[in-house]
Amino acid sequence: MISQKTIQEIRDTAKIEDVVGDYVTLKKRGVNLLGLCPFHNEKTPSFTVSPAKNIYKCFGCGESGGAINFIMEHEGMTYPQALRHLAGKYNIEIDETKPSAEAIQERQTMDSLYLINERAQQFFAKQLFETESGKNIGLTYFKERGFNEDTIKKFGLGYAPNGFKTFTDKAVKEGYKLELLQKAGVTSQKGFDFFRDRMMFVIHNLTGKVIGFGGRTLSKDKKSPKYINTPESEIYVKNKSLYGIYFAKTAIRRADECILVEGYTDVISLHQSGIENVVASSGTSLTVGQIGMIKRYTPNMKILYDGDPAGIKAAMRGLDMVLEQDMNVKVVLLPTGEDPDSYLRQLGADAFKQYIADNANDFILFKTNLLLEEAGDDPVKRSQLINDIILTISKVKDPPKREGYIKKCAELLKTDQQGLINAINTLIFKDLQKKQNISNNQENISTPTTQSDNASEPHRVTQNQSNIYQELNDVPQEKNIVRLIAEFGDRIFEGNMTVAVYVLTSIEDVMEEFDNKLCHQIVIETYELIHNQQPVEPQYFLNHNDTRISDLVITLTHEQHEYSPNWENMLEHPLQTQPMPDQNYKRDVKEGVTLFKLIKVCRLCKKNSASFKSAQSEGRVDELLHLMKIQLKLQELREVLSKELGIVVLP
């Protein structure tokens, strides 16, 4: 394992502008650098590099991080691989600590499995090109599918011979252990070749390593499955693997869209025709792990289905989870009897691309129309349909987008729009309570909001409900507290007191009112840093081992717009009415802390008021005086805080 000392040296040495500059042309813009994003296709530069903070941020696609993260994302490397790459670039000697015996064994096992799979792929490829059976059966099949030799070699296609132990005996003779051959899934538990007389498709991970195989038979024996896959192992987990992702990831970023198909040959055919942003789920329903892989590169997904209604309905059942991951999903329905591979060969590449563009339908509207057609005038089926669509729309995270679906689906279903809103909001609240473990007696707690409560205005009702979720679980002021700590924590606020100490001592009485667990975790870690007399510096959070923390802090501290030095340097016109932005932090900190406390105190007032009414109605007289004193103190504090901010808070 690479020592923490070496990792820190790499972090301290690697300059983000140098690392990114190897791949992106950067131009100076104020204190930052600007260029075209390497992670998505754009014409107007939105990719910003901050040498001062040693981070990058794209305001187009949202990618962000430091030098190590950039290499991992751009080159598809693992964390250790990226560290070694940067160590080589800066001539840093790598100091490795001795890992535990268990870690060594685990690493050796995984390395062995990768080597075995690589050897198996070479074996299958050689069988395809250099044996009579391989050429007559396997190569003929692939060429009949329209694959040229370059494509066959690029995707590592091969042929598994019909012998019972052809590969196993050869591998054992070469020194590979039978136990590891079985663990890799190329040899069965009885010692026979797992793949026999099959066309072989290679499954790669994100970095291009072979993790498994899919084998197709041409046999008409119904007892023999058409496709079999490598059994799961330490390196191959089916629900976290996508066929073709290694070859597609760059194209997905550039197109800002992923095309999803079902089979291996669909991926290869589309890729060969120039449609490279395509992957396959390999005959399984989409999983959260697979969706996460796609979302790393784009939030937009287009799914190609053949014309079988039963198959489409079965496939769509799992797509609600795609919406839960905040993905944008479109569906393309191919003519009956056609799959992407066959229809591409029939139309040709250009016409096929145009067909996809012309026939892409929004998933929710597609699903609504499909179920409407099936339900007809049957009232029971229509009721089931409405419930199904309500459940699907409730998975949409973005309130304006959800509002648009409600309006359109209400028209299609010929039902009351407000009824849909109420039903969807109920589902969202239930899901919210389940995820956050909010007890039933808390479901009516709310906080101040500027939205209208007019139930006759659907847009405002939907937005109001959304704001309630944010107030309960992800208050923007909590993130602002994190921003203040991360960006200015080590600066002096007054006397010898740093900003971090001021913030924490100021919010200590409302510390338990944090809703966002990640923000609360950052604040607790800040306490520990101060307690251990360690500096609260931006780089601590920007380079945090927990990527959720580093991603959040990068997003919060990296501004898209900045003060232009031209005002002062070239035009001799500095800011007249306020300090330079970098000097405004004391006022920023003071206002941020005060607003945060005010919002939390307002909520405590509501909670305490509810407790007072409950005690009053149940006759718990001994509690009433105590609760009344608390309420008076909270109201007094609320008045002080609101006056400091110059705002009025209604009781």
DSSP assignment of 621-647 equals: HHHHHHHHHHHHHHHHHHHHHHHHHT-
- Look at residue 466 and tell me whether its pLDDT is greater than 90: no
| Side chain identity, residue 445 | I
Domain membership of residue 495 as a residue range = 476-645
Q: Tell me, yes or no, whether 621 and 597 share the same domain.
A: yes
Please report which confidence band the pLDDT of residue 583 belongs to, taking 50, 70 and 90 as the band edges.
Answer: low
Number of H-type helices and E-type strands within the chain? 30, 16
- Residues above pLDDT 90, as percent of the chain: 24
Average the pLDDT over each of 241-250, 313-322, 464-473, 479-488 and give the range with the smallest value: 464-473
Q: Report d(CA 42, CA 57) in Å as an integer.
A: 14
| Whether 482 and 542 share a structural domain | yes
Q: Residue 248: is its pLDDT beyond 90?
A: yes
Same domain, 199 and 116: yes
Q: What is the pLDDT at residue 148?
A: 94
Q: Largest alpha-carbon pair distance within the chain?
A: 94
pLDDT score recorded for residue 366: 85
Amino acid in position 121: Q
Better-scored residue on pLDDT, 292 or 235: 235
Taking residues 180-188, what's their average pLDDT?
A: 95
How big is the CA angle at 594 (ends 589 and 600), to the nearest 5 degrees?
130
Please tell me whether residues 207 and 154 are part of one structural domain.
yes
Residue at 250 is within a domain: no
Residues 464 and 488 in one domain: no
Per the document, the length of the chain is 651
Residues whose CB is less than 8 angstroms from the CB of residue 136 and which lie 6 or more positions away in sequence, other chains included: none
Note whether residue 330 is domain-resident: no
Conformational region of residue 285, where left means phi above 0, alpha means psi within -120 to 50, and beta covers everything else? beta
What is the pLDDT averaged over residues 192-210?
93
Query: Across the strands, what pairs with 65?
Result: 56
For residue 35, the SS3 value is strand
When comparing pLDDT for 559 and 42, which is higher?
42
Q: What is the pLDDT of residues 419-457, one digit of tens each?
A: 888 888 778 766 655 654 433 333 333 333 333 333 333
* Domain C-terminal end among 473, 505, 537: 473
What 3-state DSSP class applies to 214? strand
Q: Could you give the count of Cα atoms lying within 13 Å of 34 in the half-sphere of its Cβ?
A: 15
3 state DSSP class of 466: helix
pLDDT at 160: 96
Same domain (yes/no): 482, 463: no
Q: Residue 286: is its pLDDT beyond 50?
A: yes
Tell me which residue of 214, 205, 249, 215 sits closest to 110, measured CA to CA: 205
What is the per-residue pLDDT for 136? 94
Residue 553 has pLDDT above 90, yes or no: no
CA dihedral (102, 105, 107, 110) positive or negative: negative
Residue 530 forms part of a structural domain: yes
pLDDT at 470 over 50: no
More confident residue, 214 or 651: 214
Is the residue at 540 inside a domain?
Answer: yes
C-alpha distance from residue 281 to each of 55, 304, 310, 413 (Å): 34, 12, 18, 32
Integer Cα distance of 169 and 239 in angstroms: 31
The CATH number that applies at residue 25 is 3.90.580.10
CA 615 to chain CA mean position, Å: 45
Q: Say whether pLDDT at 26 is over 80.
A: yes
Q: State which of 37-51, 79-93, 316-330 shows the largest mean pLDDT.
A: 79-93
Last residue of a domain, one of 28, 60, 89: 89
Q: Answer yes or no: are the C-beta atoms of 31 and 562 closer than 8 Å.
A: yes
pLDDT at 147: 94
Task: Give domain status of residue 81, yes or no.
Answer: yes
Q: What gap in Å lies between CA 480 and CA 593, rounded to an integer?
A: 9
Domain annotation covers residue 343: no
Q: Which of 153-162, 211-220, 333-342 is least confident?
A: 333-342
Asked if residue 291 is part of any domain, the answer here is: no
Q: How many domains does the chain have?
A: 4
User: What integer pLDDT is reported at residue 180 of this predicted model?
Assistant: 95
Q: How many CB atoms within 10 Å of residue 132?
A: 7
| Long-range contacts (CB closer than 8 Å, 24 or more residues apart) made by 204-208 | 204/156, 204/245, 204/246, 204/247, 205/235, 205/241, 205/245, 205/246, 206/76, 206/245, 206/246, 206/249, 206/293, 207/76, 207/77, 207/78, 207/81, 207/246, 208/76, 208/246
Q: Examine the fold and report which residue of 201, 217, 236 is the final residue of a domain before the chain moves on.
A: 236
Residue 253: inside a domain: no
pLDDT for the residue 257: 92
Q: Are residues 494 and 584 in the same domain?
A: yes
- Say yes or no: 34 and 80 in one domain: yes
Query: Do both 428 and 550 map to the same domain?
Result: no
Q: Is the pLDDT of residue 475 over 80?
A: no
**497 lies in the same domain as 640:** yes
Q: Which two tokens stand for residue 477?
A: 């002021």
pLDDT at position 252 over 60:
yes
What does the pLDDT read at residue 648?
Answer: 59
In this prediction, residue 461 carries a pLDDT of 30
- Are 39 and 126 found together in one domain? no
pLDDT score of 464 more than 70:
no
CB 269 within 8 A of CB 145: yes
Average pLDDT along the chain: 81
Q: Which helix (H) or strand (E) holds 498?
A: strand 497-498
Let me know whether 450 and 532 are in one domain: no
State the average pLDDT over residues 466-494.
70
Q: Which pLDDT tens digit goes with each residue over 221-236?
A: 777 889 999 999 989 9
**pLDDT, position 458:** 31
Q: What is the structure's pLDDT at 559?
A: 60
Q: Which of 391, 331, 339 is nearest to 360 (CA)?
A: 331
pLDDT of residue 310: 63
